[in-house]
């Protein structure tokens, strides 16, 4: 049974990574779009970021090197990712529920990373990590994991309660939305109960991860804890298949849309891409489009439908 | 208002109006009548109009979409809609906005954070159909069902939806109950953009079904492509009108004013919204006075479309957007000007500077600059002598969404006003957090049936509230007040809304552009450039 558990966990992690990557690649490969930025844009000069200004405020801006500050973007992104700043500012009641949920997930993810690190190091050196480093790692991931689990559970319950009771959310809530939150509650609930109630001598998380790395099926996993791990694994694989994958989308919605203020001038990458797009042949059917699959976008744009559909020079 | 409208109600049979707004539903205006309404009665749509057109959404009608006569016609229209829906999600047809559209459609969590940012939703007393997520959620469910081919499992995960002709007709109308100001997108924690969804729905109807408001399409972009201007003015007419404006400006300012035309090699090709020439001639007149006084090398163009900055395609149709933008760029290239400077027109700024930027390839990517930076440089650079005491009256500034939230031009106009208007005060909120005037996305020029009632009472309500609050301590009609709106369409909407709510009569609140305030302060100009009379 332990091998089956290993397989489920490994497959879930693989599915999560592959599905997330597939989604990211799909968006990354989508055509560059017409500009659609929204200010403030945080890579601008700090003085401008403060009020939302842009390079369009500079006379003859095209003669001035474009300012791009990665630090500025990080200054925006870090509080946004860690503390859901936009939600806090614009929807405080939801933030009180969503923040613990998301921060709990971060703590759980971080703890999983530390467990993997601890297991990896012990596999590499052929014995458990001991001493100050080992103790520090164990205490950190235990504290992070337990508090993360509690926060995520509380947050998921609070979000589910709000989804079911707030009228403006209720009418937009699908059965799938309810399932998603229930899924978290069941998975993390089982995981927590299984972890706390597991018999002495049965495998803990570090033992299981080390077992997977060594592919050692001897550890005995308590049934409830195993069930928690299986359900959590399935949940992990399920997340990137849903809108909950907004951790992938958010990179693109900010970097590729809201903050994409790169002008065409002297940008060969954009120029090459748009040269290709203008050769596409649209099939839009409205008469004024003068499309129909035979003409390119460049030709459509150069056509004046009010002058006998003639192309302009 | 306790609005129980549900998503499925959009499919209710034809003839059933989904929303009726009573005056008491609307958000009360400050310092106005207790019931929040103005003295104007909202003219109901006549039964004849309701019988003839698809007007089953609310109390107004933007599209005048004829009712199909047979079930076969309905099925055909639904088929066209489905074809357009699929095309919106293909690379060949919609590379222009495919990525942001997919990101929004596939990730909106329907957390409703955006709802409180929407002035239409708030002003209406939170009518459910005006919620930013309402139309987006309908669209999203259609996407999963008909584009992704979702079955029962998909309906369970993403929500069920029935596609019927009444639903399609209501969705078409609903696409014209949003100003595309994208204030909702600004607040979204995920970065989803329900304003974009509205934009894309409009494109579907226009590009596939040929459905768009007459004012934007036939009398708008198509007329511009035919005669050169959405006002209908041909080159001869616009030159005659501008000559008349020059004469009037010369007489009024005491300076000899002459507008240069088609000057090859000029530093600047200035493009005005041609509506200014007809509705507010003092605006292009003031530009001529100021640019000549500052010694700027500039010209207007009498080439087709180049004497009208408007580009209505930006609101509903990518092809029309591209066609007009190309015309503007081609004229600048032909005239060999140093740069294009856009006059006081917000959507024209965004269309030519931002949205069309990447399709203006090669030598068509002419440098483009806002009139606001040019005006700032003239004022701050001391290129004309200014006497701020001539503008010693309360002034507030409206931030056009297209220039400010969507282009980041925030400070130049403020630098000017702080220098020349001693009683300048901000609206709240302002800058990139501003509220739309209510005329955005074409509404300012749409007045069919009773649409003007809707935009004065609903979409323009928040701006009226902001204006009244900005002047709260000086509402006494003995003190004239000025709303500075450096955008032609915003100015039109603010004019209509001020007039609708009798705010000139009650409080002497006037509106106008930015350049007029500068010329009003010019020492070399005969005092009294701004005339305190309603226009």
Residue A174 C-alpha, separation from nearest chain B C-alpha, in angstroms: 5
Contacts of A265 in chain B (CB under 8 A): 365
Best probe of the A interface among B111, B132, B221, by most A CBs < 10 A, is: B111
Q: What residues pair up with B483 in beta bridges, in sequence order?
A: B396, B511
Q: What residues pair up with B415 in beta bridges, in sequence order?
A: none
Residue B252 C-alpha, separation from nearest chain A C-alpha, in angstroms: 31
Residue A96 C-alpha, separation from nearest chain B C-alpha, in angstroms: 13
Read off the pLDDT of residues B49-72 as tens digits, 9 standing for 90 and up: 999 999 999 999 999 999 999 999
Separation CA A269–CA A32 (nearest Å): 10
Mean pLDDT of B251-258: 96
Separation CA B131–CA B150 (nearest Å): 25
Contacts of A266 in chain B (CB under 8 A): none
Read off the pLDDT of residues B23-54 as tens digits, 9 standing for 90 and up: 888 999 986 544 444 567 788 999 999 999 99
Read off the pLDDT of residues B390-419 as tens digits, 9 standing for 90 and up: 999 999 999 999 999 999 999 999 999 999
Residue A20 C-alpha, separation from nearest chain B C-alpha, in angstroms: 13
Q: Tell which CATH architecture fits domain B219-376.
A: 3-Layer(aba) Sandwich (3.40)
Read off the pLDDT of residues B128-179 as tens digits, 9 standing for 90 and up: 999 999 999 999 999 999 999 988 889 999 999 999 999 999 999 999 999 9
Pseudo-torsion of CA B468, B470, B475, B481, nearest 10°? -110
pLDDT over 80 (residue B3): no
pLDDT of the residue at B41: 77
Closest residue of chain A to B217, computed from CA coordinates: A288
Predicted confidence band of residue B2 (pLDDT cuts 50, 70, 90): low
Contacts of B370 in chain A (CB under 8 A): 56
Instruction: State whether A174 and B187 contact (CB < 8 Å).
Output: no
Q: How many CB atoms lie within 10 A of CB A126?
A: 6
Q: Would you tell me which residues 104-143 of chain A have a C-beta closer than 8 angstroms to some C-beta of chain B?
A: none
Instruction: State whether A57 and B409 contact (CB < 8 Å).
Output: yes
If you count residue pairs, one on A and one on B, with CB atoms under 8 Å apart, how many are there?
270
Only one residue has tokens 């007393």, namely B125
Q: How many CB atoms lie within 10 A of CB A218?
A: 9
pLDDT of the residue at A257: 97
Structure tokens at B445: 């020029």
Flag residues of chain A having pLDDT under 70.
308-313
Structure tokens at B303: 């080439």
pLDDT of the residue at A313: 39
Q: Return the domain boundaries, chain A.
A: 2-258, 278-311
pTM over 0.80: yes
Contacts of B206 in chain A (CB under 8 A): 286
Instruction: State whether A285 and B83 contact (CB < 8 Å).
Output: yes
Contacts of A242 in chain B (CB under 8 A): 157
Residue B278 C-alpha, separation from nearest chain A C-alpha, in angstroms: 24
Contacts of A258 in chain B (CB under 8 A): 185, 191
| Beta-strand pair B268-271/B339-342 | parallel
Instruction: State whether B112 and A169 contact (CB < 8 Å).
Output: yes
A234 in contact with B at a CB cutoff of 8 Å?
no
Q: Omega of the bond prior to A193 within 30 degrees of 0, cis?
A: no
- Give me the residue from A54, A90, A291 closest to B407, CB to CB: A54
Give, in words, the CATH class of A2-258: mainly alpha
pLDDT of the residue at B24: 87
pLDDT of the residue at A1: 82
Separation CA B467–CA B460 (nearest Å): 11
By residue count, chain A amounts to 313
pLDDT of the residue at B84: 98
Read off the pLDDT of residues B79-109 as tens digits, 9 standing for 90 and up: 999 999 999 999 999 999 999 999 999 999 9
| B316 in Cβ contact with B245 (< 8 Å) | no
Instruction: State whether A57 and B412 contact (CB < 8 Å).
Output: yes
Read off the pLDDT of residues B427-468 as tens digits, 9 standing for 90 and up: 999 999 999 999 999 999 999 999 999 999 999 999 999 999
pLDDT of the residue at B244: 97
Residue B41 C-alpha, separation from nearest chain A C-alpha, in angstroms: 31
Between the two ends of chain A, the Cα-to-Cα distance in Å is 73
pLDDT of the residue at B142: 97
Structure tokens at B229: 């201007």
- Domain topology for B7-209: Fumarate Reductase Iron-sulfur Protein; Chain B, domain 2 (1.10.1060)
pLDDT of the residue at A308: 57
Own/partner pairs, A66-75, CB within 8 angstroms, 24+ separation: A66/A262, A66/A263, A67/A43, A68/A43, A69/A42, A69/A43, A69/A44, A69/A45, A70/A43, A72/A42, A72/A43, A72/A44, A72/A46, A73/A42, A73/A43, A73/A255, A73/A259, A75/A42
A46 in contact with B at a CB cutoff of 8 Å?
no
Contacts of B143 (CB under 8 A, 6+ apart): B85, B89, B105
CA distances for A67 relative to A41, A47, B103, B315, angstroms:
11, 12, 27, 30
pLDDT of the residue at B208: 98
A299 in contact with B at a CB cutoff of 8 Å?
no
CA distances for A265 relative to A40, A269, B103, angstroms:
22, 11, 27
Helix ranges (H only) for chain A are 2-29, 46-51, 70-83, 85-90, 92-125, 131-165, 167-170, 175-197, 205-214, 223-238, 246-252, 268-277, 297-301
Question: Helix, strand, coil % (nearest 5) of chain B?
Answer: 50, 5, 40
- Give me the residue from B6, B190, B193 closest to A171, CB to CB: B6
3-class DSSP state for residue B70? coil
Chain centre distance of CA B169:
23
pLDDT of the residue at A130: 86
| B311 in Cβ contact with B352 (< 8 Å) | yes
Contacts of A286 in chain B (CB under 8 A): 206-210
pLDDT of the residue at B31: 65
């Amino acid at each position: 049974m332990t091998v089956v558990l290993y397989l489920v966990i490994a497959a879930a992690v693989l599915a999560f990574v592959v599905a997330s990557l597939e989604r990211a690649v799909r968006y990354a490969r989508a055509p560059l779009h017409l500009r659609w930025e929204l200010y403030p844009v945080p890579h601008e000069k700090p003085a401008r970021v403060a009020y939302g200004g842009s390079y369009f405020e500079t006379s003859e801006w095209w003669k001035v090197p474009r300012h791009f500050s990665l630090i500025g973007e990080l200054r925006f992104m870090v509080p946004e990712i860690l503390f859901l700043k936009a939600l806090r500012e614009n929807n405080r009641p939801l933030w009180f529920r969503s923040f613990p949920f998301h921060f709990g997930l971060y703590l759980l993810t971080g703890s999983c990373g530390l467990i993997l690190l601890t297991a990896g190091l012990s596999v590499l050196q052929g014995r458990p990590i001991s001493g100050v480093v080992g103790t520090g790692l164990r205490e950190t991931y235990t504290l992070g994991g337990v508090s993360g689990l509690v926060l995520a559970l509380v947050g998921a319950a609070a979000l589910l309660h709000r989804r079911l009771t707030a009228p403006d959310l209720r009418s937009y809530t699908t059965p799938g939305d309810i399932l998603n939150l229930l899924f978290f509650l069941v998975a993390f609930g089982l995981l927590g109960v299984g972890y706390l109630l597991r018999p002495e001598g049965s495998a803990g998380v570090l033992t299981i991860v080390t077992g997977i790395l060594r592919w050692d099926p001897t550890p005995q996993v308590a049934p409830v804890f195993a069930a928690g791990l299986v359900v959590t694994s399935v949940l992990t694989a399920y997340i990137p298949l849903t809108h909950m994958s907004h951790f992938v989308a958010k990179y693109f919605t900010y970097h590729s849309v809201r903050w994409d203020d790169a002008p065409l001038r002297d940008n060969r990458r954009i120029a090459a891409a748009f040269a290709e797009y203008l050769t596409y042949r649209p099939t839009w059917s409205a008469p004024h489009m003068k499309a129909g699959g035979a003409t390119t976008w460049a030709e459509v744009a150069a056509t004046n439908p009010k002058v006998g559909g003639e192309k302009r020079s | 208002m306790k609005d129980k409208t549900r998503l499925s109600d959009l499919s209710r049979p034809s003839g059933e109006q989904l929303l009726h707004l009573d005056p008491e539903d609307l958000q009360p205006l400050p310092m106005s009548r207790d019931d929040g309404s103005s003295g104007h009665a909202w003219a109901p749509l006549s039964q004849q109009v309701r019988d003839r057109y698809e007007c089953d959404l609310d109390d107004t009608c933007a599209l005048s979409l004829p009712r199909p006569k047979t079930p076969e016609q309905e099925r055909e229209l639904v088929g066209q809609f489905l074809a357009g829906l699929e095309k919106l999600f293909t690379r060949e047809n919609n590379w222009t906005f495919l990525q942001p559209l997919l990101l929004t459609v596939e990730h909106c969590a329907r957390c409703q954070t955006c709802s409180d940012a929407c002035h239409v939703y708030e002003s209406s007393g939170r009518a459910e159909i005006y919620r930013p997520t309402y139309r987006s959620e309908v669209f999203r469910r259609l996407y999963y069902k008909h584009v992704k081919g979702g079955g029962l499992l998909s309906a369970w995960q993403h929500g069920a939806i029935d596609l019927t002709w009444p639903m399609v007709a209501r969705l078409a109308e609903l696409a014209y109950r949003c100003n595309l100001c994208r204030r909702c997108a600004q607040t979204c924690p995920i970065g989803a953009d329900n304003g974009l969804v509205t934009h894309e729905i409009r494109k579907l109807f226009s590009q596939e079904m040929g459905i768009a408001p007459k004012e934007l399409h036939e009398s708008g972009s198509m007329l511009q492509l035919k005669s050169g201007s959405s006002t209908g003015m041909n080159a001869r007419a616009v030159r005659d009108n501008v000559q008349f404006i020059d004469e009037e400006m010369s007489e009024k300012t005491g300076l000899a004013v002459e507008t240069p035309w088609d000057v090859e090699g000029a530093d600047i090709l200035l493009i005005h919204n041609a509506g200014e020439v007809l509705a507010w001639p003092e605006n292009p007149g003031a530009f001529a006075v100021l640019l000549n006084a500052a010694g700027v090398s500039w010209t207007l163009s009498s080439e087709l479309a180049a004497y009208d900055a408007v580009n209505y395609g930006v609101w509903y149709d990518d092809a029309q957007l591209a066609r007009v933008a190309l015309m503007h760029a081609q004229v600048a290239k032909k005239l060999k000007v140093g740069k294009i400077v856009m006059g006081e027109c917000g959507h024209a700024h965004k269309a030519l500077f931002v949205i069309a930027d990447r399709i203006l390839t090669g030598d068509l990517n002419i440098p483009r600059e806002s009139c606001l930076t040019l005006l700032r440089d003239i004022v701050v650079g001391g290129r004309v002598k200014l006497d701020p005491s001539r503008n010693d009256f309360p002034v507030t500034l409206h931030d056009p969404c297209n220039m400010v939230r969507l282009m980041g031009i925030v400070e130049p106009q403020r630098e000017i006003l702080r220098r020349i208007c001693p009683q300048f005060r901000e609206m709240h909120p302002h800058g990139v957090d501003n509220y739309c005037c209510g005329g955005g996305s074409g509404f300012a020029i749409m007045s069919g049936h009773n649409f003007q009632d809707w935009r004065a009472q609903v979409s323009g309500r928040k701006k009226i509230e902001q204006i009244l609050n900005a002047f709260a301590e000086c509402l006494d009609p003995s003190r004239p007040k000025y709303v500075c709106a450096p955008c032609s369409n915003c100015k039109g909407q603010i004019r209509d809304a001020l007039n609708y709510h009798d705010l000139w009569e009650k409080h002497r609140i006037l509106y106008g552009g930015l350049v007029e305030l500068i010329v009003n302060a010019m020492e070399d100009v005969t005092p009294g450039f701004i005339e305190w009379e309603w226009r």
